Structure 1
Amino acid sequence: MDRRDFLQKTTAGALALSFPTVPDFLADKRMGIVVHSYWSRWNSKVDSKKYPAFTNAIELLDHCHQLGAGGVQVIVNGWSTDFAKKVRDEREKLGLYLEGSIGLPKKAEDMPKFEQDVANAREAGAQVLRTVCSTGRRYETYHSPEAFEDLKKSALTSLQLAEPVLRRHKVKLGIENHKDWLAPDLVNLLKQVNSEWIGVTLDFGNSMALLEDPMQVVQTLAPYVFSTHVKDMAVEEYPNGFLLSEVPMGKGMLDLPKMVELCRKHNPVGTFSLEMITRDPLEIPCLTNAYWETFRAMPAPELARMLRTVREHTYSGGLPRVSQLTPEAKLALEEENIVACLNYSKEKLGMK
């Protein structure tokens, strides 16, 4: 039995013990907030008195605490040791969890910075980090099967470089399904790495962009889950395929209670972090030849199922769009959506 098989077969108590320590706040199931939920407000250039920009992790922590969130997942990049200690002090004062979002090393020369970022995140109190293996969406960034195979090879190299650092600092790393990996491919990558320190940041909606059934994705990846991006999704037809949007929880098509239940079953000490990105819908051009350039075969049943799903789930009034709004109105809607999701998480997901 390898490490991955062991982790999948452990009891809930043993899984909790697989973390170096299990802080008291992990028993608190309040919904946290991913920094990307503040798509407009994070480092905003808008001069707004009501919605001033967040420029660092401490400001984000303070605001999310005011909203009643349980914690934050925030970018860790080039922090000083002194700043990491300030983040730790603020986090401890507020009683919030902290997760980092971090880039992977691509080559040996990247290792000193990567290790320093991991050490600073750990100093600040993060026991779980989130990362991605691809900087862009699969169907926009890669244009041949060979190009995507190169991504797979470079991702494996990066994770093999990262693993000893994670093990040394006792920090877990979750790879996000970031509109790049099909769920079975991500599982295969984890099995190749075969480390108790590397698992999944499970995004509830991203994989719809690759025509995967969202519940099946959760079922496939939940045994490896370290952290989450919780969101609800809505769809709409357009000539080249379909449009995909995050929408306030409870207004979309995902079975969020069941998804949360599955994640808790496999990792009872895991966190749930909201990623509600308020923006125009994304175009998923699955009826174009370019969309399929990285696939060696077109999975006709998956395409037919997704198109049928799109037609069966019309979003009342059409998907929300924000490009026509003033900057202040965008900031206001972003905050409104985040608060609505936090309220839903308390009322429907048991995240008090």
Structure 2
Amino acid sequence: MTRRDFLLSATAMTLQPALDRRVPASHGSFGIAYTSFVIRMLRGRDVLRAGTAAGLPAEALVELAHSFGCSGCQIDLSQLASTEPAELKGLRGVLERYRLFVELSVPARSLEDPEAFDRAAAVAHALGAQRLRVALLSGRRYEDFHRMEDWRSFVERWRRALPRAASWLEKEGLQAGIENHKDYLAAELAGMLRRVGSRHLGACIDFGNNLALLEDPLATVEALAPHAVTTHLKDMSVRPCEGGFELSEVPLGRGILPLERMIDTVRKARPDVHFCLEMITRDPLRVPYLEDG
């Protein structure tokens, strides 16, 4: 099955009934995230750890999204070869011609560094993007932190930074969704967002990531749905391995996630949120939860 067939058949058959009950057919809800194309971008290397998605230019992703029949796309800042106004105007023109929504994925420093934020905000406005996606941790909690004190320092760093970032977002009329990126437990992320208390700072709900933290996926969505800004839609499968289990994205409807209930939960809380497919093609991730340290 080609990726086009996947989007036009599996997605529609598995998920559209849930959406039809929530929103009019004229409201496009399904997009595709740039991270669905890691092989094209970096020949199979981990795009987030490598720090760039430039191997798949934004223009190419927009054309792919249109050809697949998507309603929009979530692009990464690094996919833009140029942030000159004329170049961004041209890309926006293509998005508008195809009637695609666009969301912008930006690096975590955009929520810490005012200059980095200003650059990201300028690009978002030029493209017509109102929603940003951010991962505070590029790696994984169980791989990057071997001492609790290091994790607590990371949490404290962002506890201090995010209220200021929320004020920047409010000033620019933008929303940012922090992804549950195998770092925060859902309750931890939801609690942090409640403490900030800004409608401009919420969550990018990844449907499968917190399986790696041994969370019930539906419970993850239920905790984060009130804060949803955007999503990474996926289905997941697991298999036992030495020391834990392996975790991998699979075609929608073929995994273990209760997708219809998850989508209904998000839609009930935030009817305007887009569902951005993140179908990562890579080797399964090993989650060594039975091992010490």
* Fold match by TM threshold 0.5: yes
Given that 2:29 and 2:273 are in contact with CA atoms closer than 8 Å, whether structure 1 keeps it comes out as no
Render the CA deviation track for 1:116-138: whole Å, top value 9, x for unaligned. 11121122011110001112100
- Residue type of the alignment partner of 1:92: E
Given that 2:190 and 2:224 are in contact with CA atoms closer than 8 Å, whether structure 1 keeps it comes out as yes
Q: Give the counterpart of 1:139 among 129, 138, 142.
A: 142
Report the alpha carbon displacement of residue 104 of structure 1 after superposing the two structures with TM.
2.7
1:98 aligns with 2:102: yes
Report the alpha carbon displacement of residue 63 of structure 1 after superposing the two structures with TM.
1.3
Instruction: Return the index of the structure with the highest Cα Rg.
Output: 1
In structure 2, how many angstroms separate the alpha carbons of the residues matched to 1:208 and 1:226? 21
Say if 1:243 and 1:72 are closer, same or farther in 2 by CA, change over 3 A: same
In structure 1, how many angstroms separate the alpha carbons of the residues matched to 2:26 and 2:282? 33
In structure 1, how many angstroms separate the alpha carbons of the residues matched to 2:161 and 2:65? 32
Gap regions ≥5 residues in structure 1: 1-24, 46-52, 291-352
In structure 2, how many angstroms separate the alpha carbons of the residues matched to 1:251 and 1:176? 23
Render the CA deviation track for 1:314-338: whole Å, top value 9, x for unaligned. xxxxxxxxxxxxxxxxxxxxxxxxx
Number of residue-to-residue matches in the alignment: 258
Alignment partner, residue 29 of structure 1: 28
Q: Give the counterpart of 1:251 among 245, 254, 257.
A: 254
Alignment partner, residue 75 of structure 1: 76
- Residue type of the alignment partner of 2:94: E
TM normalised by structure 1 equals 0.70
Alignment partner, residue 9 of structure 2: none
Alignment partner, residue 59 of structure 2: 58
- Residue type of the alignment partner of 1:152: V
What is the SS of the residue equivalent to 1:116? helix
Identity of aligned residues (%): 38
Alignment partner, residue 49 of structure 1: none
Render the CA deviation track for 1:1-32: whole Å, top value 9, x for unaligned. xxxxxxxxxxxxxxxxxxxxxxxx99523421
Say if 1:207 and 1:289 are closer, same or farther in 2 by CA, change over 3 A: same
Given that 1:105 and 1:158 are in contact with CA atoms closer than 8 Å, whether structure 2 keeps it comes out as no
Q: Give the counterpart of 2:234 among 231, 236, 246.
A: 231
TM normalised by structure 2 equals 0.83
Given that 1:106 and 1:158 are in contact with CA atoms closer than 8 Å, whether structure 2 keeps it comes out as no
Aligned-residue CA RMSD (Å): 2.0
In structure 2, how many angstroms separate the alpha carbons of the residues matched to 1:129 and 1:196? 13
Report the alpha carbon displacement of residue 83 of structure 1 after superposing the two structures with TM.
2.5
Render the CA deviation track for 1:222-262: whole Å, top value 9, x for unaligned. 11111110000000001100110000101101111111111
In structure 1, how many angstroms separate the alpha carbons of the residues matched to 2:90 and 2:165? 26
Alignment partner, residue 127 of structure 2: 124
Render the CA deviation track for 1:48-74: whole Å, top value 9, x for unaligned. xxxxx9632121101110110111111
Report the alpha carbon displacement of residue 84 of structure 1 after superposing the two structures with TM.
2.2
Gap regions ≥5 residues in structure 2: 1-23, 45-53
